[in-house]
Amino acid sequence: MTKLKRLDHVAVLVPDLDQALAFWQDRLGLSLDHVETISSMAVKIAFLPLGESEIELVQPTTEDSGLAKYLSKRGPGLHHICIETDDISTKLAELNEKGVRLIDQEPVLMDDGRQLAFIHPKSTGGVLVELYQLP
């Protein structure tokens, strides 16, 4: 069985990044590492390291993206948790063999070499889970 390494991040969906940072950074005291816009996913993300993990504040950048629709329907809050694995392709195959419903059958390759895939919340007790493999 493929090893799961650590909790990489918890993603919080927000309508306004600056407003969210007022709490997470200014009031709670987390340090902002950087903000990144990922055009292919229509998001702007603030990365706030916390120990070996991160809090990611995710703001949709278009009104018609899947995340914008999710935000409109469900409101802001916890979107997903992300777990790092050492072999995402093998882990997806193992999960598929066990009948786990996957959103992504194959890993999505990002520009920086990261690979990611999502497990459907219907298989996880209602939590969207992202698997992650670093380059």
Phi, psi of 113 (to 5 degrees): 95, -10
Question: What is the C-alpha separation between 100 and 103, in angstroms, rounded?
Answer: 10
Mean pLDDT value across the chain: 95
Q: Which domains does the chain have, with CATH numbers?
A: 4-133 (3.10.180.10)
Give the C-alpha distances (Å, rounded to integers) separating 110 from 23, 44, 103, 132.
Answer: 29, 15, 17, 11
Question: What is the C-alpha separation between 94 and 100, in angstroms, rounded?
Answer: 9
Average pLDDT of each block of 10 consecutive residues along the chain (135 residues)?
92 97 96 95 96 97 94 96 97 96 95 94 96 94
> Which strands sit side by side in the sheet containing 77-85, from one edge to the other?
34-38, 43-50, 53-60, 4-13, 77-85, 129-133, 115-119, 108-109
- Beta partners for residue 78, in sequence order: 12
